Structure 1
Amino acid sequence: MEKVFLTGVTGFIGSELAKKLSEEYEVYGLVRTTSNKSSLDPIKDILNKIEIKYGNLTDFAAIKKIIKDISPHYIIHVGAATAVRHSFDNPLEFQETNHGATVNLIHAALELPEFKKFIFASTSKKSQCPLKRI
């Protein structure tokens, strides 16, 4: 069975994806180490069908180890800081949580021999890419 590593598994999109994906894939969901038990409520009905991993997306060494141990075929990245107000109050933390975490996941995935696809969900606010070549 193919493996999926899913960030944001306890969020609105992530929990629904986990429910659907667990029907056909081996699902590993990432939950923040700082989360409390009630954060698992959105996925309580499928906790017996998926495996929860605890970690912080900004900790590259920890994420790299989790990814290496699982060796997923797919990474679906829907975990993020989503409150736009937070981006103004704490811009560096917001940048590290969203951009840095994505970079960490991509670099960890590049070392997997059987990796197939990285799927990323963007935020509700976006801007044009400043570089014409991208």
Structure 2
Amino acid sequence: MKVLITGITGFAGSHLADYILDNHPDAQVYGMIRWRSRMENILHIESRIHLVEADLKDMGSLKKCLAEVQPDHIFHLAAQSFVPTSWKCPAETFAINAVGQINLFESILSLGISPKIQIAGSSEEYGLVNSDEVPMKETNPLRPLSPYAVSKV
């Protein structure tokens, strides 16, 4: 089983890689990184994973990555997730989060592969939650309050 984790160098991605390596010894774990990725979260597993350079904003690099890995499963965790940055750089946030996800899907389609895909969402998507809507359910209306939240819807 080949697993590709976008955002493997982040908090969630690195812990997911740990979990897969510990619980699925037959899995080959691939991580998609950018040239400027901070590696400290995966240094302890670097010898047990395969790293592939690609950028969600670059279809060519995505296709190359996916063609090389041929993943059975993709955990798409890469994102610009810092809400204050989304206010300062809304276009970049959308380029990474929304357009980047579309680029990932289109690359998969163009290669004719069919991995199972898990997308990371965010409670930020719900935004404004009224007191009578608590506890929240997945059926709650979406009322995003930041560019980041909108990019995750």
Scaled by the length of structure 2, the TM-score of the pair is: 0.75
SS of aligned partner of 1:47: helix
Shift of 1:72: 0.4
Number of residue pairs matched by the alignment: 125
Cα RMSD of the aligned pairs, angstroms, is 1.7
Whole-Å Cα distance in 1 between the matches of residues 28 and 11 of structure 2? 20
Query: Does 2:32 align with 1:33?
Result: no
Describe how 1:1-134 pairs up with structure 2 within 5 A.
2-23=1-22, 24=24, 25-35=27-37, 39-113=38-112, 115-127=114-126, 128=142
More helix by share: 2
Work out the percentage of aligned pairs sharing the same amino acid: 31
Unaligned runs of 5+ in 1: 130-134
- Residues 67-90 of structure 1 show CA distances to partners (whole Å, capped at 9, x for unaligned) of 011110111001110111111111
How far residue 121 of structure 1 moved from its aligned partner, in angstroms, is: 0.4
**CA radius of gyration, larger in:** 2
**Is the alpha carbon distance of 1:13 and 1:93 closer, same or farther for their aligned partners in structure 2, counting shifts above 3 Å?**
same
* Ranges of 4+ aligned residues in structure 1 off by more than 3 Å: 111-114
Higher relative contact order (CA 8 A, sep 6+): 1
Q: Provide the TM-score with structure 1 as the length reference.
A: 0.84
